[in-house]
Structure formats: C-alpha cells, structure tokens
C-alpha cells in the first residue's frame, strides 16, 4: 500500500498557482502530497477501495461541484482522516439561517433578517411586514454558494413569494441592506480571511471585489482591532481551518457580519488576477496549512507507535 501524508482534491483550473505554492510548502515540511484532479480521480477512488492507496490527511476543494470526488470524502470520513475544513463542520456553515442565529447567539451583529419557511413545507404564508427592511432588500436562499439564487435589489412582497419557488425545499432570508461608514476615502467594508487562528483583514471593494490589506496603522487609526475578535468568534463557532467572512462597520459603530462563512475561498493570486487574494496572504496560508498537516501526521504516527506498544 502507498500512503500519502496529504491528499488534495481540486478541480478548478484557477487553483493551479495556489496548488503549486502549496505543493512547495508541503515539500519544505517533508510531506508527501497526492493531488487528485478530474484526470485521475477514478483511478484514485479505485485504489482507495481496493486498499492499494491511503492518505493521512485530506483537503477537499472539488466534491461540492463534482460528484466524482465524493468517494474520496466518504473514504476519509470512514477512516477518521483529519480533514482541512472537516466536512461535518463545513456542512453546518452552508445553512445561512442556522449561521444567522448562531452569530446572534454569540453577540455578533447581522443584517436585519426575516426568515421564510420552505415553499414545500408551507406554500402559503401570511402577509409579511417588510417595512423594517427598507425600500430595497436582499433575498437569499439559506443554502448555496456565491450569488446563486440571490436577488440583491428586491423591492416587493411578490418578489419574495416568487423566489421561494425557485428552491422550494429551502428556507429564504430577506435581509436589509447594510450601509458602511466612510473611513477616509474608503467605505468600511471588509473581507476577512481566517486561517488556523491567523486573521487577515482586508478592505473589500464590493464593486470590483479587489482586496487591499488593512495596514497596522489603519487598524490603529480606525480602531479596527475588533475585526480580529469578530473573526475569532466566528472561527470558534464554525470550527473551520480556513474561511472568509464579510463585515461592514456602520455609522453607529457596529461591526455587522454581512456574508457569514465562506469555506471554499477563492485563492487566486492577486498578481495573476486583480480580484485575487494578495500574494503574501496566500503564501502565509500555504505555510500555516502545511504546518497543520505536519502536526496531524506526527500525531497520527505517534498514535500508531503507541498502539504497537
């Protein structure tokens, strides 16, 4: 049997630059890396099934969009493999309705929200008082990534009712728009990445999706240290090793968590794509995740030696 320290499943062509960096970081930590892509996923699945192949840790960046990778996830779960962003934790974050209540439960601010039941369970619902949402609001299915099924500029009760039928088994969130305060020349809207306890706060342009790291001076001048506390609270809730969140600072001084938890974050390099993640952050993420894997591998081997004795 061939056993790798880490199996990385990926299928997005734009992950290539990140994967090269991650591979180099794994090698520098003495880790063996098995990359599984659409080209070899069938062979790897067969080898796992018949016992010719195994791995000690796993990072899945593919199965959500390609069911061919699901056997790898099942094998990892069946063998209690340490996963980066464990599936059982990640699945909890996919439900925006659940996360909304969880964030409020730990004292974080979120947009004013009205939750509608799934159409399948309750086709008819009583009239909704939309006045707290303002003249224009967002409609979001509780599940789904990116902007799938999202209406950002809804204005009527009828739009909400129609949207429920697009994903009839899902709850829907109607959310008030959040207006950030202006800090100097920038709106106070942030994309915050958290990796194994390290927080990377960035200004986030909602139109261009361009990241600009918050400098230490800006953090001090604008008193943005609470961004770190917010990310730490979310990390404690979701239990993920790597995720991002969006946070806006409003005129009343509240940090409002706008986009709750993204667990499959875009790791394109900013040097290759204008709306990618700043290169320094990506480099640091590869190092921190390699160290996480190295620690997990050492622990696994130590348990194996202990069991032999």
Q: Return the CATH number at 30.
A: 3.40.50.2300
What average pLDDT score do residues 106-127 get?
A: 91
Task: Flag whether pLDDT at 36 surpasses 80.
Answer: yes
Alpha-carbon distances, residue 305 vs 58, 158, 271, 302 (angstroms): 21, 64, 44, 5
Q: Return the CATH number at 152.
A: 3.30.1490.20
Task: Flag whether pLDDT at 145 surpasses 70.
Answer: no
Same domain, yes or no: 190 and 221? yes
What average pLDDT score do residues 266-274 get?
A: 96
Same domain, yes or no: 195 and 250? yes
The token duo for 131 is: 């006045």
Q: Return the CATH number at 233.
A: 3.30.470
Same domain, yes or no: 81 and 10? yes
Task: Flag whether pLDDT at 62 surpasses 50.
Answer: yes
Q: How confident is residue 308, by pLDDT bands cut at 50, 70 and 90?
A: very low
- The pLDDT tens digits of the residues spanning 71-80 come to 999 999 999 9
The token duo for 263 is: 């667990």
Nearest to 90 by CA among 289, 288, 261, 268: 261
Instruction: Note the pLDDT of residue 305.
Output: 53
Same domain, yes or no: 206 and 226? yes
Task: Report CA dihedral (225, 228, 229, 232) to the nearest 10 degrees.
Answer: -170
In angstroms, the CA 144 to CA 171 distance is 11
Q: How confident is residue 147, by pLDDT bands cut at 50, 70 and 90?
A: low
What average pLDDT score do residues 284-306 get?
A: 86
Task: Flag whether pLDDT at 70 surpasses 60.
Answer: yes
Same domain, yes or no: 147 and 187? no
Domain range for residue 171?
112-176
Q: Which of 33-37, 174-178, 247-251, 299-303 has the lowest mean pLDDT?
A: 299-303
Determine, yes or no, domain membership for 103. no
Q: What's the pTM?
A: 0.91
In angstroms, the CA 262 to CA 94 distance is 8
- Domain count within the chain: 3
- The pLDDT tens digits of the residues spanning 206-265 come to 899 999 999 999 999 999 999 999 999 999 999 999 999 999 999 999 999 998 999 889
Burial tier of 218 (Cβ tally within 10 Å: 0-12, 13-18, 19+): middle
- The pLDDT tens digits of the residues spanning 23-35 come to 999 999 999 999 9
Determine, yes or no, domain membership for 159. yes
């Amino acid at each position: 049997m061939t056993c790798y320290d880490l199996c990385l499943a990926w299928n997005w062509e734009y992950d290539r630059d990140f994967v090269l960096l991650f591979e180099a970081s794994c090698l520098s930590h003495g880790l063996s890396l098995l990359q599984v892509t659409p080209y070899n996923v069938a062979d790897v699945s067969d080898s796992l099934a018949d016992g010719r192949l195994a791995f000690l840790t796993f990072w899945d960046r593919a199965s959500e969009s390609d069911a061919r990778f699901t056997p790898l996830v099942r094998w990892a779960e069946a063998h209690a493999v340490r996963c980066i962003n464990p599936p059982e934790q990640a699945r909890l974050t996919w439900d925006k309705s659940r996360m909304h209540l969880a964030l409020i439960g730990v004292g974080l601010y979120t947009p004013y929200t009205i939750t509608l039941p799934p159409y399948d369970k309750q086709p008819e619902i009583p009239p909704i008082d939309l006045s707290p949402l303002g003249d224009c609001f967002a409609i979001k299915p509780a599940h789904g990534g990116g902007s799938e099924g999202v209406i950002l500029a809804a204005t009527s009760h009828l739009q909400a009712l129609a949207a429920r039928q697009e994903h009839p088994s899902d709850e829907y969130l109607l959310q008030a728009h959040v207006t950030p305060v202006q800090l100097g020349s920038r709106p106070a809207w942030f994309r915050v990445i958290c990796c194994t306890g390290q927080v990377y706060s960035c200004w986030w342009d909602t139109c261009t999706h361009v990241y600009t790291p918050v400098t230490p001076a800006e953090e001090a001048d604008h008193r943005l240290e609470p961004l770190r506390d917010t990310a730490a609270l979310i990390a404690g809730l979701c239990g993920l090793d790597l995720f991002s969140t969006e946070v806006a600072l409003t005129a009343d001084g509240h940090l409002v968590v706008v986009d709750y938890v993204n667990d499959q974050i875009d790791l394109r390099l900013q040097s290759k794509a204008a709306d990618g993640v700043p290169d320094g952050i990506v480099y640091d993420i590869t190092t921190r995740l390699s160290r996480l894997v190295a620690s997990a591998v050492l622990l696994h081997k130590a348990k194996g030696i202990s069991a032999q004795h």
